[in-house]
Structure 1
């Protein structure tokens, strides 16, 4: 898509990680003249308000960027300053910045803010972060029971990533017993969900929950292997990207630090192969009971489960690189891509990897705009019941908001845009 002012040539996404960053940020902050007309401009503004309004997290730059990441030299900004700059860049209209900024301060009582911290090389610190994240969604009795199980069994034997089915309203009455405005709104939200789904499955509340819920839903209803998984060069993706972008060698492999480039390429290739094998085998299962049983078994295997999440993260990086290069070359890209790279912490794919993707599963989960990226990477529409937004036009949100007609749909539930659960047993078919 052609804009009013063309970005100075800065090479590919690798070059943009260094010297091209300043040029890209200047280009994004200037008002743009959209060739698609007023309707496209209004759409951009609407999506900008929707995304920026709900991105309450502040992401701290990673300590390991080195010379590859120019963002390490940027001056620190307060949360409000960052948000106002993001709005200005996203809309390209300075007169709208103050209005949207005011929306950011109007936080819903159910919304929880989170500070994303840099990944630590100390494994115990990472484990502590995950434990505290998970504990936010469990009561004292459940936490104590978990400690006992941890001491009696190995993690792979104990781990239950997706809990058994539970009636939606029974779950709601257990979780929201009070008469506060928030509790009443949540109950109304669950009542709406119960009109479409009979049961809910609780997803383990660590920083992978968005991946876990989305992938579980996709596999549990898969009937064929997606076309992008059938591509002959699919498993060559790590090698091809590493040959073009040297900074990818700093990819964070689960809890493993200091890997060499060749080892990273080989290990990610194994994850991609595993993703294709599991998707293929589960999609070939005809009986719904047997298919569900296979999904349950997969998501009880800790090693395989987390390997699949690494594959998803790498697919997101690949998608981000494509979108960045397409936008730079003047090709049309979805609106969320402008917002993804308008953030001070991800003005290019290199920064996105260092400051966001490397932290997912360690010290943070997916932000709102990154849910769009996940949807595009999987070529799935992710439909989310956002319960704290009940009675508003944002109660049911689609990622992307203008999905392709042939993309399958998965449905999730969230109470706060941070943790996701799974609705199951549709009372009626959910279609777009």
Structure 2
């Protein structure tokens, strides 16, 4: 092993090996004023800079297009966004009249406390109804459920809403077979079927109340109501409900007088072929007998005026 001479060692210290081109370029001062800074940029920092520069060139144009699109959407939907901001962050709508709410549900939701005032407020809607002379409606029976008390108003509202929704859905179906299938599904559910019955019963009761008030005020009423109010068991709405309507769907069906009321309440012409009266004048009965020409017709068949059959025509 040879040892370098003093002359070779001096030359190596005086002239170090040349730096790579990249390192020389990074070591150069960025400006004349920084010529005194001898620090160099690390190799990893230069690599990161080059990578980000490359990526920016690739995403710059798509990012600009996306930003322009978002700004256009915000400008186009500025009114809707302003309304949304008002509702979400200001906590209320700028409306003079709010949407309708159920009075019973509102009081139950807003007055949940157990104080005397809260209990009074929850009972206020019922007291308002009672003050109008309708407190006896709490004796309305839902089939075998004889007495429901103050909850009768909530249950009736649910039944009426269910009838309205089902009626709207079925009428909205244009295809006859689709409507028949919807009806089969509906009446296959016993709970849903009874909700419809109770809603129709209450509509019938409402018509009796209105006709009774009109009769007391000397106004004209349909002729079949005279059959209702001349009976000793239904001389007024309360007796009609207690002696006739409450038992419907539980132990009794509809008498012929109630069939008139049913057709009038639903605004349909109910034509019944009474097989027990075949060959006689009353073989075909219409409920009601007087009706507007635009009412739809419904055909039924009965053997004993108690049980009714729905005839279906297959095309």
Q: Name the TM-score class by shorter chain.
A: 0.5 to 0.7
Deviation string 1:288-311 (CA, Å, 9 cap, x unpaired) is 221111110000011101111000
Quote the offset at 1:334 in angstroms: 1.3
Rg (Cα) greater in structure: 2
Quote the offset at 1:318 in angstroms: 0.1
Quote the offset at 1:406 in angstroms: 1.2
Deviation string 1:311-331 (CA, Å, 9 cap, x unpaired) is 000000000011111111111
Q: Does 1:419 align with 2:307?
A: yes
SS of alignment partner, residue 394 of structure 1? helix
Q: Are 2:140 and 2:241, in contact at CA under 8 Å, matched by a contact in 1?
A: yes
SS of alignment partner, residue 245 of structure 1? helix
Q: Does 1:407 align with 2:295?
A: yes
Q: Are 2:260 and 2:288, in contact at CA under 8 Å, matched by a contact in 1?
A: yes
Quote the offset at 1:415 in angstroms: 0.7
Q: Are 2:160 and 2:199, in contact at CA under 8 Å, matched by a contact in 1?
A: yes
Match of 1:297 among 166, 185, 200: 185
Q: Are 2:143 and 2:248, in contact at CA under 8 Å, matched by a contact in 1?
A: no
Quote the offset at 1:362 in angstroms: 1.3
| Root mean square deviation of aligned Cα | 2.3
Mapped partners of 2:262, 2:301: distance in 1: 16
Q: Does 1:328 align with 2:245?
A: no
Quote the offset at 1:278 in angstroms: 0.4
Q: Does 1:384 align with 2:272?
A: yes
SS of alignment partner, residue 274 of structure 1? helix
What is residue 347 of structure 1 aligned with on the other side? 235
Deviation string 1:333-362 (CA, Å, 9 cap, x unpaired) is 111101101111111000000000011111
Given the superposition, is the C-alpha separation of residues 241 and 383 from structure 1 closer, same or farther in structure 2, using an over 3 Å criterion?
farther
Mapped partners of 1:412, 1:404: distance in 2: 20
Deviation string 1:9-40 (CA, Å, 9 cap, x unpaired) is xxxxxxxxxxxxxxxxxxxxxxxxxxxxxxxx
SS of alignment partner, residue 136 of structure 2? helix
Q: Are 2:143 and 2:247, in contact at CA under 8 Å, matched by a contact in 1?
A: no
What is residue 365 of structure 1 aligned with on the other side? 253
Q: Are 2:276 and 2:304, in contact at CA under 8 Å, matched by a contact in 1?
A: yes
What is residue 338 of structure 1 aligned with on the other side? 226
Given the superposition, is the C-alpha separation of residues 409 and 241 from structure 1 closer, same or farther in structure 2, using an over 3 Å criterion?
farther
Q: Does 1:244 align with 2:149?
A: no
SS of alignment partner, residue 337 of structure 1? helix
TM-score under structure 2 length normalisation: 0.58
Which structure is higher in helix share? 2
Quote the offset at 1:244 in angstroms: 3.4
What is residue 278 of structure 1 aligned with on the other side? 166
What is residue 314 of structure 1 aligned with on the other side? 202
SS of alignment partner, residue 148 of structure 2? coil
Mapped partners of 1:303, 1:422: distance in 2: 21
What is residue 155 of structure 2 aligned with on the other side? 267
Quote the offset at 1:369 in angstroms: 0.5
Quote the offset at 1:367 in angstroms: 0.6
Quote the offset at 1:426 in angstroms: 6.8
Quote the offset at 1:241 in angstroms: 6.3
Superposed structure 1 runs of 4+ greater than 6 Å apart: 238-241
Deviation string 1:128-175 (CA, Å, 9 cap, x unpaired) is xxxxxxxxxxxxxxxxxxxxxxxxxxxxxxxxxxxxxxxxxxxxxxxx
Quote the offset at 1:255 in angstroms: 2.4
Given the superposition, is the C-alpha separation of residues 385 and 304 from structure 1 closer, same or farther in structure 2, using an over 3 Å criterion?
same
Mapped partners of 2:230, 2:314: distance in 1: 38
Aligned pairs for 1:79-158 (under 5 A) are none
Quote the offset at 1:257 in angstroms: 3.6
